[in-house]
Chain A
Amino acid sequence: MPERLITLENVTKIYGGRKRTVKAVDHVTFDIYRGETLGLVGESGCGKSTTGNMLVHLLNADSGTIRFDGQEITAMSEREFKKLRSDIQMIFQDPYASLNPQKKIGWLLEEPLLIHHKEMSKEDRSRKVDEILRVVGLDESYRDRYPRQLSGGQRQRVCIALALIVNPAFVVADEPVSALDVSVQAQILNLMKKLQRDYHLTYLFISHDLGVVSYMADRIAVMYLGNIVEMGTEEQISRHARHPYTQALFSASADEEGRERIILDGDVPSPSNPPSGCPFHTRCFRCREKCLDQKPELCEMEPGWKIACHYPHEWEEGEDSPQRKAVEV
């Protein structure tokens, strides 16, 4: 059994005041094992970024517990969490927005060392900055440049260097390549994989690009309206998905020729007014009466493969097959 690094138990996050509330994350439970990459996919507003932000303590959960390496971090104050901050790092989506435009790269990279490693001498810090620049495929000459002088891919390398310079065990990557072109995207993904091998990192990889997630992740969790609807190994989710939402998502992926595209009706319902029963029932092509008022629990169907659907076996029986539905469209 792999070792659990992160455990989330019934984690809920509610935004808003007295009048209107939005349940961004609704009783989410999952584990992340040491050394793995967990992919988190879903459409905008499904709560995937909120989940990521709670894991790095940028947001506090309203209920439930989050444990990192056995320690509960949910109730920690900012000061208590500071010790863990160097273990848990984040890479953001937009490398243009996450670097201070007025500071040189060298200064930006030195700052985390000044905070987390006060004991380091100036020479050590400087050596360290040079090293990390080389690790991410840049060189010392970048120390004296400003973010605006770098390309998008180079900036994202600097962001990765910023996350790694304090030697974290766990990195949340929130859409790290969605702002980049395909050929640059491939470089960054390769770099992230290589760093994972070299430094035994654990990733939570958040993305809406299913090709990218399938390539990177060992396991995938699919979120819809604040709930995890299906979770399993990459192969289970991308090839043999059982939840109708996952099936629809992955039916459009590029390399599956011959697979029928499933086109869902309607829009994602507003998270401030979620549907009763199963959150997906308004768009589901297998919806039955039971789905309207009973919310399905996330149940383990096979070891490690969980799904929140009342009728996970329907598809195999050929009844209401998504293929047939797709032909009608």
Chain B
Amino acid sequence: MESVCKVTDFSLGFVQDKKVYPAVNHVDFEIHAGEMVALIGESGCGKSVTALSLIGLQPETAVLSGSMNFGGEELLALKEAQWQDYRGNRISMIFQEPMTALNPLIKVGKQVLENVMLHQKVTKEEGRQQVLGILRQVGLPDVEQIYQSYPHQLSGGQRQRIMIAMAFVNNPDLLIADEPTTALDVTIQAQIMDLIKKMNRERGTAVLLISHDLGVIRHLCSRVYIMYAGHIVESGEVEHVLGNPVHPYTRGLVASIPSSRKKGEALYSIPGVVPPLYQRKTEGCPFCNRCFAAGKLCERITPAAYVHEGRRIFCHLTPEEIAALSVRMKADQEENEGKSPKTGGVQECRKG
């Protein structure tokens, strides 16, 4: 399959006091034309900053290395002026919070029009017609009136639709959606995700979806990358990776999602926390200090990927070895529970 964007050996570090703190380490991923790919990870794992680098909006203190190949062009070599041809045109992005992403002082129609005029050689009237067309396509009612509205006059769902219109108006090859529905209500979330999928199907735009809603990802995406502390730890088909996770982190992540089915049993929780940026080690497996299967080797050497049933797994252990050790997950759980004393002093207080 033809790939729209191929990222190889991408690393990103933040510089402070002449020291480099690595936030993303040697990440490889690929997005094929017309597909929807998900990137999953907890906050601080480097997923957002990776996405921002794809559109040249990474923070100024960041240093990048590796390669981001977009349609034969090297994105990391682009100068700011050259970015203009890509950003908002061939690559566009939808942000999490539509209220902060729109200018509150400019009518929304004009904001979408601005994007058209910057990238296409059309007259204002032609541009306007194009904007009205895309507003209709993203399911907004009464587009003439919406065109003349300010962001504050629209609901959260409508604002996110404007963002989607703005992202799609120049027919990009790649859309990056960074948690596009977290600020929205449940039923509106479903609408917006459905709309992104519809645009993806109709226009053949590849989508990189950053999300932590595994239900949405299972439903919409074909492949998924799991990120932890700046590393990709597992990747492959959504059904395989989320339905039958192999990597200890993915296992823990999937097991810790609460649902009706897990009622009555304690949820698995991965022991410990994601280490903050300044405490991360440069050698060893990024997950080894929280992993139920970690051994001596994991502390010293960063695991390379191996392929198992069509997916890539970054681990020293084989799937069979991990499965055999996964009984330890339960032991971890019990140990966690036992941490706090069974009878505390709360009752005493009432007596007093």
Residues on A close to B: CB < 8 A? Answer: 43-44, 113, 117, 119-120, 124, 127-128, 131-132, 134-137, 151, 153, 164-167, 181-187, 189-191, 193-194, 198-199, 208, 210-212, 214-216, 234-235, 238-239, 248-249, 252-255, 257, 261-264, 267-268, 283, 329
Contacts and interface: CB of A to CB of B under 8 A. Distances in A.
Contacts of B155: 267-268
B346 A135 contact: yes
B257 A128 contact: no
A252 B190 contact: yes
B341 A134 contact: yes
B104 interface: no
A214 B263 contact: yes
Given A210-B186, A255-B259, A128 B214 contact: no
B42 A181 contact: yes
Given A132-B344, A151-B273, A261 B219 contact: yes
A41 B192 CA distance: 20
Contact of A135 (B188, B215, B269, B340): B340
A183 B219 CA distance: 22
B352 A182 contact: no
B186 A43 contact: yes
B157 interface: yes
B257 A249 contact: no
Interface residues of B, number: 52
Nearest to B189: A252
B352 A186 contact: no
A216 B252 contact: no
Contacts of A193: 266
A44 B155 CA distance: 12
Contacts of A267: 155, 157-158, 188
A248 B187 CA distance: 7
B258 interface: yes
Q: What's the dominant secondary structure at chain A's contact region? A: helix
B317 interface: no
B126 interface: no
A20 B342 CA distance: 52
A185 B263 CA distance: 15
Contacts of A119: 352
A128 B348 CA distance: 9
B187 A234 contact: no
Contacts of A182: 42, 212, 253, 256-257
B20 interface: no
The 9 closest A-B pairs by CB, nearest first: A254-B215, A215-B258, A214-B260, A186-B256, A131-B345, A43-B185, A186-B269, A186-B267, A135-B344
Contacts of A239: 260
B293 interface: no
Contacts of B158: 267
Given A182-B253, A255-B259, A198 B344 contact: yes
Nearest to B198: A329
A208 B218 contact: no
Interface in B151-193: 155, 157-158, 185-191
Q: Of residues B214, B266, B341, B352, which shows the largest number of chain A Cβ atoms within 10 Å of its Cβ?
A: B352
28 contacts: A43-B186, A128-B345, A128-B349, A131-B346, A135-B341, A167-B346, A184-B269, A185-B256, A186-B257, A186-B267, A186-B268, A190-B266, A190-B269, A194-B337, A208-B185, A212-B258, A215-B260, A215-B263, A215-B267, A252-B216, A253-B215, A254-B257, A263-B191, A267-B158, A267-B188, A268-B155, A268-B187, A329-B194
Interface in B305-352: 336-337, 339-350, 352
B124 interface: no
A153 B273 contact: yes
Contacts of B157: 267
Nearest to A87: B350
B131 interface: no
B43 interface: yes
